[in-house]
Structure 1
Amino acid sequence: MQKLTPFLISCLLVFGVAACDNASKTAESAPDPSEAPTAPTAQTTQAAQQDAQSEVRRRQLDADIRAREQRNNVTGGDTDRATGDLSSQVRSKLEANIPKGQLTVEAAEDGTVTVAGTVNNQQELAKIERLAKEIKGVKAVVVTATVAPPTR
């Protein structure tokens, strides 16, 4: 047994060195670094956009927001929310309900949320403040977003 253990360990080491000798063999699915990444096709982009706008996605985002609020209630964070958590929840709510908007969200310590960027029409712009205030912890909403029709 004393002679077998060093033999097995040395076999494992030799096998490991041989297996890792050629880096290109370590991951067959790894992209070739010499190839430039290609842009997604219009069909792929359309499918991704439809998925982001789907009712299922909207329900998932709403469920995620509810789960975060429940977690905050349990941990006592009901009144003082982390700014990152607050901005993330508002961003999710806006993405689900204004999917073609190009919006950024920043939250301040006092519960003020600033929404900037562009939306496609006046109706979407009017929805921003109402949607943001649906998130628990948002005390005020500053909307600096503007209406800009989509460019193609």
Structure 2
Amino acid sequence: MQKLTPFLISSLLIFGVAACDNASKTSESAPSNPNEAPQSPTVQTTQASQQDAQSKVRRDQLNSDIRAREQRNNTTGGDAQRATGDLASEVRSKLEANIPKGQLTVEATKDGIVTVGGTVNNQQELAKIETLSKQIKGVKSVVVKATVNPPKQ
């Protein structure tokens, strides 16, 4: 049992590092990173993303994720310094809940700078990105590399 415990802990750590290596994405079809040139989404992709993001279960998950991270940061006193993974995940959740048709990718730095890339369907959604992102505690500035690219028929 004593040899099994370190093995299990190290396996979890390796899995955690591999899982945290990816950028936060609002949909499976979002680009892999904010600097990647976005592709025009299809109508089916946009509708599938919207249905998923607007389902009651998914919205509850997104809101719960944001609340849990905020509570944890308030409890641990981490208000000033946020983990980049937490920041990216919270911004992604916020954007996914409020811009359900977008295909966005979120990356964050330890300095509180968030970069958002991908596509949205219209100018109004593009304008929401910075405002929504700054609602997350710890976000100091937002670099919006997303473009307006309505779905192709």
TM bin, normalised by shorter chain, reads 0.5 to 0.7
Of all paired residues, the percent bearing the same amino acid is 80
Q: CA deviation at 1:49?
A: 4.4
After TM superposition, the structure 1 = structure 2 runs for residues 79-98 of structure 1, keeping only pairs within 5 Å, are 79-98=80-99
Instruction: Summarize the Cα distance change of 1:100–1:49 in structure 2 as closer, same or farther, 3 Å threshold.
Output: closer
Instruction: Please tell me the root mean square deviation across aligned C-alpha atoms, in Å.
Output: 2.1
**For residues 58-77 of structure 1, what are the alpha-carbon distances to aligned partners after superposition, in whole Å with 9 as ceiling and x for unaligned?**
24312320111110111121
**TM-score, reference length from structure 2:** 0.64
Q: What is the match of residue 14 of structure 2?
A: none
After TM superposition, the structure 1 = structure 2 runs for residues 45-64 of structure 1, keeping only pairs within 5 Å, are 49-64=50-65
Q: What is the match of residue 115 of structure 1?
A: 116
Q: CA deviation at 1:52?
A: 2.3
After TM superposition, the structure 1 = structure 2 runs for residues 1-152 of structure 1, keeping only pairs within 5 Å, are 49-152=50-153
Report which structure shows greater RCO (CA 8 Å, sep ≥6): 2
**TM-score, reference length from structure 1:** 0.65
The structure having more radius of gyration, on CA atoms, is 1
Question: Deviation above 3 Å: which 4+ runs of structure 1?
Answer: 45-49
Aligned length: 109
Q: CA deviation at 1:56?
A: 4.9
Q: Which structure 2 segments of 5+ residues have no match? A: 1-43
Q: Which structure 1 segments of 5+ residues have no match? A: 1-42
